């Protein structure tokens, strides 16, 4: 069952990447990056399955996923924000996180041994903050088109949903830790979140039109 | 896992998702309200602008008619009255005097015809669109210089390009307004007109050596000719700067970016009396 879920997840992100490629000429730069992030997620998912099958250990992929996800989505936020101070803060956060990732991978949560929760949790906090700030900026500079047709809305909703759900997931993990045979519930819940996140990303790619995003802005 | 714990788990998961959904729905409602508010504000601004434009157009028409009325009264009527008197007296004179009076009257009538023709040309919008701003100002300049009231010099720098029918008309009206003010109020002997055509900037400068006026007068003069100049400039996306101080003449400068597209400044200009 789990193999089916992980394989279908891989296909899902691949299809989303292909949708992004098909609509590439209508996408603005941040959504072009989003397309490439889907391909990256697909590649890492495949590598994770290979490492799991061969070495029963996909921790290195989780480390790589953690930092590449952060860099990709932070750069996307950099191009979506208008506020220069927030843009600078994003650049600083990318540098700080990259350095922290290296230190964490070497000293605290070794690359081949442990899940990088020291990087993952602050990452989710930052994504939640970015998404709330972007929602606020959207209210300051409303576009003329219906919000349901705005790709920024769908991307931001996806990020807020994903970031906040990760904390909830952590809470459930701790709660269920006292009971045996809980891991399946968590894994299924985790994949449900991931699926919903990528479906929202797909909607963002389908609704994106750089003509509206650039001309109606501000 | 105990049933109660499972219930807690399910409830907390449901509550969490409900909270996220509620936040998103709240944001959508807030955004929609903001869009409506922005749209209303934009409509109000556009309505206010249209009213302002209409008011300026009506003022321009009224002032144009006043100008015509004044010219006819001051020039045409006076001269024709003299011609009438002259011809009346000619009837009682000798043959030689009669012919002299008739010749004088003929010259005066010819002058009136020329003045009326010039007046018609200066009013006609088609004249301005046909000849362009520089040429039209040049014709007016020559007419004023011929009168001897004031010495007007005109200079045009750069490659002359069309600014758009409505812009050129409004700029010409600003020129006329300034000229009228200079002739009537300033006591100036010289008026310099400079037109500068650059790729991203057009500038019209009108400078006289008259009595000047204080800046306080400008601030208080709502609805006056000077305020009209500023309003008209704003209509075509230009900026009018009026600098003057007592004893130091007056300098009016109108600058605009010819590349900036504005709804009211481009396209075919309708008949200004319609």
> Residue B244: beta bridge partners?
B250
B209: phi then psi, degrees, rounded to nearest 5 = -110, 40
- Residue A23 has phi, psi (to 5 degrees) of -95, 15
Question: Which of A138, A161, A189 has the CB atom closest to B31's CB atom?
Answer: A138
Q: What number is the average pLDDT over the span B72-91?
A: 83
Percent of chain A topping pLDDT 70: 92
Arithmetic mean of pLDDT over chain B: 80
For residue B169, name the pLDDT band (cuts at 50, 70, 90). Answer: confident
Check if the beta carbon of residue B258 is closer than 8 Å to that of residue B204: no
Q: Among A144-148, A200-204, B229-233, which range has the highest average pLDDT? A: A200-204
Q: Is the pLDDT of residue A167 over 50?
A: yes
Task: Return the sign of the alpha-carbon dihedral for residues B254, B259, B264, B270.
Answer: positive
From CA A14, how far away is CA B163, in angstroms rounded? 54
Buried b (16+ CB within 10 A) or exposed e, A167-197: ebbeebeeebeeeeebeebeeebbeebbeeb
Confidence grade of residue B144 (pLDDT, cut at 50, 70, 90) = confident
Q: What is the token pair recorded at B247?
A: 């004893």
Q: Distance (Å, rounded) from C-alpha A3 to C-alpha A181?
A: 18
Query: Given an 8 Å threshold on Cβ–Cβ distance, is B31 in contact with A164?
Result: no
Please tell me what DSSP assigns to residue B271: P
* Chain B CA closest to residue A181: B1
Distance CA(A27)–CA(A201), nearest Å, equals 13
Range A15-24 burial, b when 16+ CB lie within 10 A, else e: ebbebbeebe
Task: Decide if B27 and A135 are in contact by the 8 Å CB cutoff.
Answer: yes
Coil, strand or helix: which one is B162? coil
Over residues B54-75, the pLDDT tens digits come to: 676 676 677 677 777 877 877 7
Q: Name chain B contacts of A171, Cβ cutoff 8 Å.
A: 12
Mean pLDDT value of segment B188-215: 88
Residue B92 pLDDT grade (very low, low, confident, very high; cuts 50, 70, 90): confident
pLDDT at B270 over 50: no
Kindly indicate the confidence band of residue A180, based on its pLDDT and cuts at 50, 70 and 90.
low
Nearest Cα neighbor of A44 from A66, A77, A22, A71 is A66
Sequence-ordered list of residues with C-beta below 8 angstroms from that of A61, at least 6 positions apart, any chain: A44, A47, A48, A51
Task: Look at A104-108, A117-121, B156-160 and tell me which has the smallest mean pLDDT.
Answer: A117-121
Task: Quickly count: other Cβ atoms within 10 Å of residue B251's Cβ.
Answer: 15
Give the mean model confidence (pLDDT) for residues B2-20.
80
Please state, for a pLDDT cut of 70, what percent of chain B lies above it. 83
Query: Which residues, in sequence order, are CB contacts of B131 under 8 Å at separation 6+?
Result: B139
The contacts of residue B199 (CB under 8 Å, 6+ apart) are none
Contact (Cβ atoms closer than 8 angstroms) between residue B197 and residue B158 = yes
The ipTM assigned to this model is 0.85
Tokens, residue B238 = 């230009």
pLDDT in tens, A39-55: 999 999 899 888 888 88
CB contact under 8 A, B31 and A147: yes
Q: Which pair of tokens denotes residue A166?
A: 């990760």
B24 → closest Cβ in A157, A175, A182? A157
CB pairs under 8 A between A and B: 39
**What is the average pLDDT across B127-155?**
83
Q: Beta-carbon neighbour count of residue A45 at 10 Å?
A: 22
Q: Which SS3 state, helix, strand or coil, does residue A27 take?
A: coil
pLDDT of amino acid B94: 81
- Is residue A176 within 8 A of residue A185, CB to CB? The reply is yes
Residues of A in contact with B30 (CB under 8 A): 139
Residue A216: pLDDT over 50: no
Give the distance from residue B220's alpha carbon to the nearest chain A alpha carbon, in angstroms: 36
């Amino acid at each position: 069952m789990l193999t089916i879920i992980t394989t279908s997840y891989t296909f899902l992100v691949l299809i989303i990447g292909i949708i992004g490629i098909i609509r590439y000429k209508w996408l603005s730069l941040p959504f072009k990056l989003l397309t490439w992030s889907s391909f990256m997620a697909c590649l890492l998912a495949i590598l994770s399955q290979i490492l799991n099958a061969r070495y029963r250990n996909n921790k290195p992929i989780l480390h790589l996923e953690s930092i590449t996800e952060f860099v990709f989505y932070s750069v996307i936020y950099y191009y979506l924000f208008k506020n220069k101070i927030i843009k600078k803060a994003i650049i600083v956060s990318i540098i700080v996180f990259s350095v922290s990732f290296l230190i964490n991978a070497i000293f605290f949560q070794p690359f081949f041994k442990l899940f990088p929760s020291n990087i993952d949790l602050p990452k989710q906090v930052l994504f939640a903050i970015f998404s709330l700030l972007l929602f606020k900026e959207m209210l300051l500079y409303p576009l003329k088109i219906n919000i349901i047709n705005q790709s920024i809305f769908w991307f931001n909703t996806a990020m807020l949903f994903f970031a906040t759900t990760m904390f909830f997931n952590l809470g459930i993990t701790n709660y269920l830790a006292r009971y045996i045979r809980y891991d399946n519930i968590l894994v299924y819940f985790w994949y449900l979140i991931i699926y919903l996140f990528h479906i929202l990303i797909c909607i963002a790619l389908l609704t994106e039109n750089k003509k509206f995003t650039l001309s109606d802005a501000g | 896992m105990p049933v109660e714990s499972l219930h807690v788990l399910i409830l907390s998961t449901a509550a969490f998702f409900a909270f996220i959904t509620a936040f998103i729905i709240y944001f959508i409602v807030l955004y929609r309200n903001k869009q409506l508010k922005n749209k209303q504000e934009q409509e109000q601004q556009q309505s206010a602008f249209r009213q302002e434009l209409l008011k300026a157009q009506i003022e321009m028409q009224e002032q144009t008619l006043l100008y015509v009325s004044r010219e006819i009264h001051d020039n045409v009527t006076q001269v024709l009255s003299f011609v009438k008197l002259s011809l009346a007296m000619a009837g009682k004179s000798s043959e030689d005097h009669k012919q002299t009076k008739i010749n004088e009257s003929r010259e005066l009538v010819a002058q009136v015809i020329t003045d009326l023709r010039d007046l018609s040309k200066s009013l006609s919008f088609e004249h301005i669109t046909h000849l362009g701003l520089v040429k039209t100002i040049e014709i007016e300049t020559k007419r004023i210089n011929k009168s001897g009231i004031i010495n007007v010099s005109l200079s045009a720098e750069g490659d002359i390009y069309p600014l758009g029918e409505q812009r050129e008309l409004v700029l010409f009206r600003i020129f006329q307004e300034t000229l009228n003010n200079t002739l009537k109020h300033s006591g100036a002997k010289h008026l310099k007109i400079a037109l500068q055509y650059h790729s991203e900037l057009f500038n019209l400068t009108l400078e006289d050596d008259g009595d000047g006026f204080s800046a306080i007068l400008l601030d208080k003069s709502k609805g006056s000719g000077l305020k009209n100049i500023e309003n008209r400039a704003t209509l075509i996306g230009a900026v009018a700067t009026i600098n003057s101080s007592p004893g130091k003449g007056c300098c009016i400068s109108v600058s605009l970016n010819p590349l900036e597209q504005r709804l009211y400044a481009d396209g075919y200009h309708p008949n200004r009396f319609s």
